[in-house]
């Protein structure tokens, strides 16, 4: 697994590269992503480990998808992520971890996560892009998944499919640790479509 400092530097370089490729100023990206200019400077310098919410806002604004922000470009062939090599993108207050272990290239973005949560850990997520779906399978322990106003209590072996384009949250239930696998399927965002259209137009000009 990449060291936190190395991952922060890689994310910062990727954000800066994508921003400059679009000839965007920091102010324009701040406006498009709803991330403060000060935070953007810190992210691009690799001086902070941005939250998942911040990474999602940036990836949506840039139209490239979360995996492309946190992982180097890969070929469309078979991709192996060895144990311990995933990107650690969330750490809970009580020791939980959210690790992005596999991705696939767009336009439909696929993410495979491995989550562990300790008693008391909880992650609230903002809505993702319209049409996003999440598939969750509990491996150990018990969790409570909140989607909108609905609460779903799941035990080891249970699974849940739900819309990721509304507020949702994951929480450890009970007094023992829990773990689950999570797949996120997210369509390309408007920024990606605009970029593709611009590229097509340029090619035909």
Rounded to an integer, what distance in angstroms lies between the CA atom of residue 23 and that of residue 26?
10
The DSSP secondary-structure symbol of 120 reads T
Give the number of residues written for the chain. 205
pLDDT at 188 over 80: no
Q: Using one digit for the tens of pLDDT, what is the confidence trace for 97-155?
A: 999 999 886 677 889 999 999 999 999 998 988 899 999 999 999 999 999 999 999 99
| pLDDT tens per residue, range 44-89 | 988 878 888 898 889 888 887 787 788 765 656 778 888 988 889 9
Spatial distance between the Cα atoms of 113 and 125, rounded to a whole number of angstroms: 15
């Amino acid at each position: 697994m990449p060291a936190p400092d190395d991952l922060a530097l890689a994310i910062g370089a990727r954000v800066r590269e994508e921003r400059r490729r679009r000839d965007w100023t920091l102010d324009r990206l701040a406006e498009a992503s709803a991330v403060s200019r000060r935070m953007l400077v810190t992210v691009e310098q690799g001086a902070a480990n941005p939250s998942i919410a911040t990474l999602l806002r940036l990836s949506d604004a840039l139209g490239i998808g979360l995996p492309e922000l946190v992982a180097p470009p890969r070929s469309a062939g078979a991709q192996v992520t060895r144990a311990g090599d995933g990107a650690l993108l969330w750490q809970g207050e009580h020791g939980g971890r959210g690790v992005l272990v596999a991705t696939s290239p767009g336009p439909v973005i696929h993410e495979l996560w491995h989550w562990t949560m300790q008693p008391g850990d909880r992650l609230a997520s903002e809505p993702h892009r319209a049409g996003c779906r999440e598939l969750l399978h509990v491996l150990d322990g018990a969790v409570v998944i909140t989607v909108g106003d609905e609460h779903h209590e799941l035990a080891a072996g249970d699974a849940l499919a739900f819309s990721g384009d509304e507020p949702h949250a994951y929480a450890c239930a009970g007094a023992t640790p829990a773990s689950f696998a999570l797949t996120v399927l997210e369509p390309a965002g408007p920024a990606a479509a605009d970029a593709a259209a611009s590229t097509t137009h340029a090619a035909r000009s």
